[in-house]
A and B are shown apart, each in its own frame.
Chain A
Amino acid sequence: MVDSFKFLPRLIAAFYRNQQPLVEGEIPWTPLTKPLSQCKLSLITTAGLYCKDDQPPFDTEREQKEPTWGDASYRSIPTDRSPDQIGLSHLHINPQPILQDLNVVFPIQHLRELAAKGRIGSLAAQAYSFMGYQGFPPNPRAWLETSAPQVAAALHEEGVDGLLLTPV
């Protein structure tokens, strides 16, 4: 079994173990209705990625001033952008591995190759990034009420069938 606490500092692990998520309802379920080779896939990460040329970074300045607040906005990342056009704004991880090789969290290049080989039908034109820190106590509702519905609408518009999610 993967040890979920292996890489957490001891005190943080202890804190997490005491947290209980209040979950309502069954696990949602959308089966794939066609083979993966006919599906359009997109990618959603929480690494705080943004397009350097035309988008602002996530608001880490405000988070510095208000540590219990996290930026709930999202960025739409065209999947034809090259890695050097993509920046990262996230105060809770070391960005270096991602800046060295975007594939460690945003494997667009690999997905494009898999689409070319027919393993997947196609890679969507847009992928998405959120920024994982959502305040303290954690408030994922901000995502669910604001950005996530907008991303869902955009994904529907593009005819996306499946999503890979790569949190940090």
Chain B
Amino acid sequence: MLARFFEAQGFATLLITNMPYWAEKIGVPRTLAVEHPFGQPLGKPGDGQRQRQVLLQALTLLEQAQQPGQIWQDETPWEEDLEEAIRNWQPLRPSPIIRYLQPRIRDLIRHKGQFRV
């Protein structure tokens, strides 16, 4: 949503995300998709090489894109046991909304919701 806004305001934007699903649904000007857990779009702490690699790809797409909506896929696997990676990106204490919704989560899943972008 922010990418669309700032692009409309006259800035060339590049989104680095692990959820290209949303980028495609919403329609984002330029997207680099990385298969990383939440909170680490550039890579792991201390992994300067990977961080620079992601950044350089992002800049290349920013430079080369000729029309809106491109999504480049970087499929480099995330080197961590999947169950641990899923646990590790989450906060130690579940967020207030998760605690609030917990009793109702199954009803919510069945509810098809819409939200304005």
| A16 → B minimal CB distance (Å) | 8
- Contact call B91/A91, Cβ cutoff below 8 A: yes
> Residues on A close to B: CB < 8 A?
1-9, 11, 14-16, 18-24, 26-32, 35-36, 39, 44, 46-47, 63-64, 67-68, 91-95, 97-98, 100-101, 103-105, 107, 110-111, 114, 119-120, 130, 133, 136-141, 143-144, 148, 151-152, 155-156, 160-168
Q: Which residues of B contact A47 (CB under 8 A)?
A: 39
Q: Kindly state the separation between the CA atoms of A67 and B20 in the bound complex, as whole angstroms.
A: 27
Chain B 24-50, CB-CB to A under 8 Å as 1, else 0, gives 011111000111111111111110100
The contact of A120 among B17, B48, B59, B69, by CB within 8 Å, is: B59
> Residues on B close to A: CB < 8 A?
1-22, 25-29, 33-46, 48, 51-52, 55-56, 58-59, 62-63, 66-69, 73-75, 82, 85-86, 88-93, 95-97, 99-101, 105-106, 108-117
Chain B residue with minimal CB distance to A33?
B12
| B36 → A minimal CB distance (Å) | 8
Q: Which residues of B contact A110 (CB under 8 A)?
A: 42, 48, 51-52, 55
Chain B residue with minimal CB distance to A161?
B12
- Contact call B8/A63, Cβ cutoff below 8 A: no
- Contact call A97/B105, Cβ cutoff below 8 A: no
Interface contact tally, CB-CB below 8 A: 250
Q: Which residues of A contact B114 (CB under 8 A)?
A: 19-22
Q: Kindly state the separation between the CA atoms of A36 and B30 in the bound complex, as whole angstroms.
A: 15
| A38 → B minimal CB distance (Å) | 11
- Contact call B16/A166, Cβ cutoff below 8 A: yes
Known: A7-B85, A18-B113, A143-B1. A32 touches B97 (CB 8 A): no
Q: Which residues of A contact B90 (CB under 8 A)?
A: 9, 93-94
The contact of B34 among A2, A137, A140, by CB within 8 Å, is: A2
Q: Kindly state the separation between the CA atoms of A7 and B19 in the bound complex, as whole angstroms.
A: 10
- Contact call A19/B16, Cβ cutoff below 8 A: no
- Contact call A22/B17, Cβ cutoff below 8 A: no
Chain B residue with minimal CB distance to A32?
B12
